[in-house]
Amino acid sequence: MTEARKRARRAEARTMLRRRGAAAATVVGVVALGAAWWTGSQGAMAQPQENLVVPADANIDGGKSLYAEFCASCHGADLEGQPDWQSPGPDGILPAPPHDETGHTWHHADGLLFQYTKLGGREALAVQGVAFDSGMPGFAGQLSDREIWNILAYIKSTWPEREREVQTARTQASISDGRN
């Protein structure tokens, strides 16, 4: 076998391993988020009943401004997320996902979205017994609860009707099941 062919086969093998690693990391991320959604937020970080959903009087315009200041640098000015957000980077961490309808934000109940934003991904999932190395930082020291709800209200306001309906149903189911 020629040296060029050997290099090509090694490159193919590295590519295949990267793809398998990316697929495995994506599966782990989805399972971790699903487990977090399923187990709910019982215990010390559980929110009072009135804080399980975005408040009806949330300030969408204020949320849009806060999103631009605190979130857009990672999640995109148009909520588009980072490129290849479903494949881990060289550090093994998944890039910031989109918050528009092409992402998975609308798949999660309000309570989980709130805790993920407030505590950061790793801590929000750890509270629920899930070990997952997330790149999402917590904003508890920078944003008030009301400001977090305003950001979430803004994000939700950008979704098409179908995604809003599905997400609302998941939030209500999560509350009914005591998982939120």
Reported as a single tens digit per residue, the pLDDT across 160-179 is: 999 999 999 999 998 887 76
Reported as a single tens digit per residue, the pLDDT across 108-150 is: 999 999 999 999 999 998 988 999 889 999 999 999 999 999 9
Reported as a single tens digit per residue, the pLDDT across 33-83 is: 554 444 443 333 444 444 589 999 999 999 999 999 999 999 999 999 999
HEC assignment per residue over 77-144: CCCCCCCCCCCCCCCCCCCCCCCCCCCCHHHCCHHHHHHHHHHCHHHHHHHCCCCCCCCCCCCCCCCC
Q: How far is the C-alpha of 53 from the C-alpha of 13, rounded, in Å?
A: 47
Third-level CATH fold of 3-176: Cytochrome Bc1 Complex; Chain D, domain 2 (1.10.760)
Residue 111 and residue 180 in contact, taking contact as beta carbons nearer than 8 Å = yes
Q: How far is the C-alpha of 132 from the C-alpha of 136, rounded, in Å?
A: 11
